[in-house]
Amino acid sequence: MTTDSHIRVLPVHVANKIAAGEVVDRPASVLKELVENAMDAGASQINVDISAGGKKLIAVSDNGSGMNRDDAILSIERHATSKISDVDDIEKIQTLGFRGEALAAIASVSRFRLSTCRTGESSGTELIITGGKLTDVRDFGCPAGTSIEVRDIFFNVPARRKFLRSEPTELSHIRAGFIVQALSHPMIGMNLKVDGRETYRLTQGSDLEDRLRDLFGADFQKSLKKVDYCSGDITIRGYITMPAMSRSDRNEQYFFVNGRVTGAPLFSYALREGYRTLLPSDRHPSVFLLMEMNPELVDVNVHPTKKEVRFRRPDDVRDIIITAIREALKSDKSSTVAEHVRDAGKKPEQPAPAVADIQLKIDNLPPTRTFHYPRMPVISNVSRQEQGSTAKNQDFEEKQAKKENQANAPWLWCRVLGQIGSLYVMLETEDGYVIMDPHAAHERVLFERFMADFLKGKIQIQNLLLPDTVELVPGDAMRVRKNLDLFRKMGFGISEFGGDSFVVDALPSYFSQASAQGLLVDIAHSLEQAGARGGNTRWREESIAQAACKAAVKQRDKLSLEEIEKLVIDLAQTEMPYTCPHGRPTLIFTSFRDLNRKFGRE
C-alpha cells in the first residue's frame, strides 16, 4: 500500500530566503551584519555608502584581514563561519558573529558583490551573486580587506519588499544602526556617506567620550557623567545623564556587552533602581554603558539577530549596574558641592555653606512678610453710571468684591517660611501650611498661558540673539522633520540645516530660557505618541505640556522671594492650580486642625 508523501526537503534557495527573513528584515539589518563582520575581521577603518535609504545600495568596505579565494566562496554558504568550530565554542564566544548565516541570507535576496584580498597578497577575489545564485568568480585587484555591495534588496521577494518603509524612514534606521555600531567600538574609524554626501566621519583611535562628542555634539557630551566601576570579573564603564537631563523616551539608552549592542530585561530594572527617587516614572535617562565580562558568563545564542543575551548570574549583573549608576551620581554630587564651595570663596573643609548653596536659594527671606492673593474684579449688573460715584457705593463695591473673592480664593494670605529638601517651598496660610513644588507649579502656569495663546493664535515669539544649531539623533530628527509646520505654529523659528541638523532662531516667549534641543526632542516625541492615538486636542496638550516641563524652573535654579511670591500668585490664577500638566501635585496642604489632632491638642 502506498501513500502520498506530505513532507519534503525544501530546496536550498527557498531555505535561504526563509532564513533571510530571520536575519534581514530591512536595510539596517544588512548594515549591522556587514559592519559586525568587518569588526570581527580586525578592521581599523570601516566605510559605509548608502543610496535610496538602502533600497538601492548598501556598501561596506574595511581594511581587515580579508579572505583568500576558497574562503570567499565558502563565506556565502549557510552555516559557514571562521568563528566557531565545535559546540563547546558557543559557551565562550568572543566575536560579534558566529552563526554563519548572514552573508548567505543577504546574498539570497539581493544583487550581491564581494571583493576581498588578504594582507600581503597581490590580487584578490571577486564574487557576483544574484538572488542567491553564484554567477561569477574571478581574480580581482583590490586593496587588502573586504568590500561588499548589496543592491536592490528583496528584488526577488516582492512580498517582503512592499513592507519596506519610505526612503527617509529606512535611512533613519540605518543612521541609528550606524551610531550604535560606532559607539560599540569607538577605536575603529567609521565613515558614512548617504547618496554621495558624507554624513559622518569618525576618526580612528577615539575613546567613548570622543565618539559621543562627534555623534551627539559637545554640549551633550559635557552634560554626561562618567561611569567607571569594577566588581569581580565584571567591569562597567561609560556615561549617563544626570536627572535634570532626562528624556520622555528610551531612545538614548545603549548597553554593550563585550562590544555587542544588546538588551536584557534586567537592564531596564537596574536603570529604574539606579535612578529611583531621582526621576518620575515617565522620564528616562540617557545611558551609554559598556560592560566587559568573561564570555563564559553570558549566553549570546538566544535570538537569531543576537538582540538579547542571558547571564549566568543575572542578580550579580543587575546589582553591579545599580551600584555603578549610584556611585556615578554620588560622585557628581560631591564634585558639585566642591564647585559651589570654590565659587563662594570658601575652603573645601567648610561643608555647611556648600550644602546651603546646592539648594534652591531664596534670597533675603524676611520672617514675617505676607502677601495677598490677587482679587478678580466683581462684574456688577448695575452700571457705574447708575451706581454713581458716591463714597457709599464705592465702599459697598469694594466690600462685596472682597467678600466674594475671599470665598473663592484658597487662602486669604500667605507667608513664605523657607525651603526644604533642596526643592520644596514651605508656605504658611491662615488655616495651616502648604508645601509647594516650584517646578510643578511653574509647569502649570506656563502650560495654561501657552495653551490659551496657542488656541487664540496669539503666541508671542522671542527671537534669539544667536541662532542655535541643533544636531539630533536620526529618530528624533525624523520626528521633528515630520512636524516642522506645527513647530512653526507653536512659535518656533526652525528650518532644516542638512542631515539631522536644524537651525532655531526663535522660540515661544514663554520658553525662551529653555534648551532648544530639549524642547524639540520632547515635543516631537509626544507628538508621535499622541499621533498614534489620534485627537488634535490631545497632541496639542501633550506637546505643550512637554515644552512647559522643559522651560519650568529646575531643582537648582535660584529664585528670589519676589519670584516665589509671583509664582504662588500666578498659580492661584490658573484653572487647575493643584496639579501640573502631567498630573503631579503642585501643592500639599496640611491644616492646623490636623496638626493639633496629631499633637493631641483636640
State pLDDT tens for residues 154-210: 998 888 888 898 998 999 999 999 999 999 999 999 999 999 999 999 999 999 999
pLDDT tens digits, 330-379 = 754 433 323 332 333 333 333 333 333 333 344 444 444 444 444 333 22
Q: Based on the domain organization, do 238 and 176 belong to the same domain?
A: no
375 inside domain: no
- Residue at a domain's end among 302, 337, 372: 337
Identify whether residues 151 and 287 lie together within a single domain: no
Instruction: Kindly report, residue by residue over 229-271, the tens digit of the pLDDT.
Output: 999 889 999 999 887 678 888 888 999 988 888 877 788 888 9
* 195 plus 230 within the same structural domain: no
Bridge-based pairing state of the strands 189-194 and 45-51: parallel
Closest residue by Cα to residue 37 from 90, 91, 103: 103
Its domain, for residue 442, covers 438-554
pLDDT at 46 over 90: yes
Q: Return the pLDDT at 259.
A: 86
What letter does residue 88 receive in the DSSP assignment? Answer: G
Whether 22 and 151 share a structural domain: yes
Average pLDDT over residues 116-136: 92
Res. 446: pLDDT tops 70? yes
pLDDT, tens digit, 9 for 90 and up, residues 526-555: 666 554 444 344 445 666 666 666 666 665
DSSP, collapsed to helix, strand or coil, labels residue 479 as: helix
pLDDT for res 13:
60
Task: Please provide the average confidence, as pLDDT, over all residues in the chain.
Answer: 76
> What's the distance, CA 142 to chain centroid?
41
Average pLDDT score over residue span 588-592: 88
Residues 273 and 169 placed together within one structural domain of the fold: no
pLDDT of residue 112: 96
Number of domains in the chain: 3
Q: How far is CA 4 from CA 10, 92, 223, 383, in A?
A: 17, 46, 69, 100
- Which among 303, 337, 371 is the end of a domain? 337
Residue 307: which CATH number?
A: 3.30.230.10
pLDDT category of residue 410 using cuts at 50, 70 and 90: low
Indicate if 33 and 73 belong to the same structural domain. yes
CB 284 within 8 A of CB 317: no
pLDDT at 49 over 90: yes
Residues 20 and 154 in one domain: yes
Q: Is 215 part of any domain?
A: no
Sheet holding 234-241, edge to edge: 224-231, 234-241, 287-293, 253-257, 260-261
Surface-to-core class of residue 25, CB atoms within 10 Å of its CB (0-12 exposed, 13-18 middle, 19+ buried)? middle
pLDDT band per the 50, 70, 90 thresholds, residue 12: low
